[in-house]
Amino acid sequence: MLHTVNKSPWQAPSLEACLAHLGDERLLLIEDGVYAALAASDAAARLDDPARDGRIYALGPDLEARGIGTDQLAAGVEVVDYAGFVQLVAAHGPHQAWL
Amino acid sequence: MSEEMDLEQGGDMKRFMFVNRKAPHGSIYALEALEVVLIAAAFDQDVSLAFLDDGVFQLRQGQNAKALDMKNFAPTFRALDDYDIEKLYVERESLDERGLSEDELIVPVEVVDRARMSALMTEQDVVMSF
């Protein structure tokens, strides 16, 4: 299964709820959800375990819009573009959006 | 003090604070707030901006909303000085939670702690929230 979170972790408990249900599945951070991947923030630690397994992704255009460079991302977070988003859905669907 | 100020300025100047609490590209709030700020400045009001919670992300350097085919409005913050808007307050606790430092911001600001931010809010005639 592919999960997406589109809210900042300080704005809504969506990330927390998603991670509580993530299990061994994959999470793609999109829109304001990408702020959770900022290595220096107090949110990034929550992604440690799944990121180590290569199961956390962040959408590149949303990072770029927000001025987040790949060097500022938490370790293990993989950046994908829109085509990569589609590939994730195709490979790991169904998709659940945590709004 | 406020009465004196009113007399000096013909009594038509009010202290407006625009409170920005939302991240910039996930919703239209940040852009709309900026539009309203510029309007208030055009009416020669005493305008200040407060950035707290996710609102501090509006001031991050290096933003490029064109990546989303949206208007890249972050550079507009640099133009506020031309409209005599010089009071930009940023809450320290909000920066810290998000791992942001003052030197990563797009414009010079006054970083204040939560207690000072609270006091600034109570000094206003009008507080508008975005």
What band does B9 get if pLDDT is binned at 50, 70 and 90? low
Q: In percent, how much of chain B has pLDDT > 70?
A: 92
What band does B7 get if pLDDT is binned at 50, 70 and 90? very low
Helices then strands, each counted (H, E), chain B: 5, 5
Going by C-beta distance under 8 Å and a sequence separation of 6 or more, which residues neighbour residue A71?
none
Supply the DSSP symbol for A90.
Answer: H
Distance from CA of B26 to the nearest CA of A (A): 5
Q: What are the residue ranges spanned by the domains of chain B? A: 15-129
Q: Which of residues 64-123 of B touch A (CB under 8 A)?
A: 64-68, 70, 74, 97-100
Q: Which has more pLDDT, B9 or B87?
A: B87
B93 chain-A contacts, CB cut-off 8 A: none
What average pLDDT does the segment B29-47 reach? 93
ipTM of the complex: 0.90
What pLDDT is attached to residue B54? Answer: 98
**Domain B15-129 belongs in CATH node 3.30.450.20:** no
- Residue pairs between chains A and B whose CB atoms are closer than 8 Å: 68
Contact A35 B68 (CB under 8 A): no
Contact B98 A35 (CB under 8 A): yes
For residue B5, pLDDT over 90 is answered with: no
- Could you give phi then psi for residue B122, rounded to 5 degrees? -70, -15
Cα B128 to Cα B13, B20, B33, B49: the distances in Å are 16, 9, 9, 10
What pLDDT is attached to residue B11? Answer: 63
Question: Six-digit token pair at B34?
Answer: 């900026």
What average pLDDT does the segment A51-79 reach? 97
What pLDDT is attached to residue B41? Answer: 87
Cα B54 to Cα B35, B77, B90, B100, B130: the distances in Å are 19, 16, 11, 11, 11
For residue A83, pLDDT over 90 is answered with: yes
